[in-house]
Structure 1
Amino acid sequence: MDKLTADDLIYGYINGIFPMADADGTLYWYAPDPRAIIPLDTYKPSKSLRPVLNRNQFEIRINTSFKEVMKCCSAPRSDDDSVWISDEIINAYTELHYMGLAHSVETYIDNRLVGGLYGVSLGSAFFGESMFNRVDNASKVAFHHLVLILRQQQFTLLDTQFINDNVRRYGAIEIPKADYLRQLKMALRQKVRFTESAPLIKTSQTRE
């Protein structure tokens, strides 16, 4: 396969597949069955997160440091953690970001990036890719604001790909691949925009 491009990513997502890199940088495409999604209408912040949200400890920004968020997400969490976000993947998603189809939600303290997440939006579907945090609760707050944005803009599908303990805490469930593809097809038919609403969150829209 030639170098991964933004067009490759678009084609993959609309067909229910996504890339991950092996340790040597080799790209593979995945289509999990079952597929993990997070129902947008049932998500609720945990009891422990609510005081954090009320304290307004973090400043939230949207799309101001997309590539940096990806690089932070690509760092191994532990000595035995495998890295699947290669430089090729970072470059392709950054290209998609400049096309207005890949987005980051970032958390800051004293103007320092301490957490965030990134993903892809097509139609009314958002494909969550990865998140990171350098301070407790930083990624949880970023995810909470992601859901607020998706709800306000009437997104219908939040794809989280694989089930694990991290996404379970946000209410992730597994559905058969066939059901996922039906939901994806319907979501792609609806035109919505990924944009924050000023009354909810303090953000900046400047792109890198």
Structure 2
Amino acid sequence: MPTIPWLDIDKLDFPDVDNALDDPNGLLAVGGDLSRERILAAYRRGVFPWYEESQPILWWSPQPRAVLYPEQVYINRSLRKALRRDDYSVSFDTAFNDVLEGCAALSPKRPGTWITDDMRAAYQGLHQAGWAHSIEVWRNGKLIGGLYGLGIGRVFFGESMFSREANASKIALVHLCGQLHEWGYPLIDCQVGNDYLDSMGAQEINRDTFKQHLEQYTLAPGRSIGAWNMNWRYGHSTPAE
């Protein structure tokens, strides 16, 4: 049975992602901490933390990898109709903690969450340091959906999203794609694929291709570290439909 290495708390090194397990898919290492430096080092290598409250910190690099190329986001007819309404607004980095809470909220369909207190604190710290960003969708002054993730170089690493009204998280994702495309960001890491992401145009690529993307794009100059401002709006410059 393969042995999963425990990370040295004093070092930021990770095992080669090619050593990740096939079952469970992508499990690479255990332990370490959720310091800003470790999380950033992990993402640059294509590794992310994901674990439940009762578990130690688990680090993953699944094969294949789900990604979304911003210019290829798919907008179906019903979403196009929702996007054309003028009764909502979209913003960046104005309610990060509220988006985080929305993503972590429990429901009958989701009785558990991987966004533990430690994970919340870690990503709040990354937001305060200018690395983690939120996209918010508002209607009548109320937050109805959004998503959050990290921006490193010219890659956006998506973490989680939520909706309190139909299509709200999709509206957030379309605006994220539009803004990133305008800024010259070629890649959104979606980690693991699902039907929702597939419906938005995400695709799966092999680990070697993903590693090449990271080597090229995380080192490219992106937006300045700090809060992002939304200046893209659906209908003014629209990704492919």
Under a length normalisation based on structure 1, what TM-score does the superposition of the two structures give? 0.90
Aligned length: 201
Deviations 1:96-146 (A, max 9, x none): 111111100001111111100001000000001110011111111111110
**1:135 aligns to 2:165 (yes or no):** yes
Structure number with higher relative contact order (C-alpha < 8 Å, ≥ 6 residues apart)? 1
Is 1:87 aligned to 2:117, yes or no?
yes
Q: Tell me how far apart the structure 2 counterparts of residues 41 and 59 of structure 1 sit (CA, whole Å).
A: 21
* Equivalent position to 2:185, from 155, 161, 175: 155
Amino acid at match of 1:134: R
Aligned-partner Cα distance in 2 for 1:180–1:50: 30
User: What is the aligned-residue identity percentage?
Assistant: 33
Which residues in structure 2 correspond to 1:50-61 (within 5 Å)?
50-61=80-91
Question: Unpaired runs of 5+ in structure 1?
Answer: 202-208
SS at match of 1:83: coil
In structure 2, do the counterparts of structure 1 residues 106 and 25 end up closer, same or farther at CA, with 3 Å as the change threshold? farther
Partner letter of residue 172 of structure 2? Answer: A
* Aligned-pair Cα RMSD in Å: 1.7
Is contact 1:157–1:184 with CA below 8 Å preserved after alignment? no
Equivalent of residue 231 in structure 2, options 186, 198, 207:
198
Please tell me whether Structure 1 or Structure 2 has the larger radius of gyration of its CA atoms. Answer: 2
* TM-score for both structures, normalised by structure 2: 0.78
Amino acid at match of 1:88: D
Find the residue that maps to 1:57 and give its secondary structure: coil
Q: Does the 8 A contact of 2:64 with 2:206 survive in 1?
A: yes
Cα separation, 2, equivalents of 1:37 and 1:82: 25
Report if the CA contact (8 A) 1:4-1:92 is conserved.
yes
Q: Following the alignment from structure 2 to structure 1, what is the Cα–Cα distance between the partners of residues 89 and 71?
A: 25
Q: Work out whether residues 25 and 86 of structure 1, in 8 Å CA contact, stay in contact via their aligned partners in 2.
A: no
SS in 2 for 1:32: coil
Q: Which runs of 5+ in 2 are unaligned?
A: 1-30, 235-241
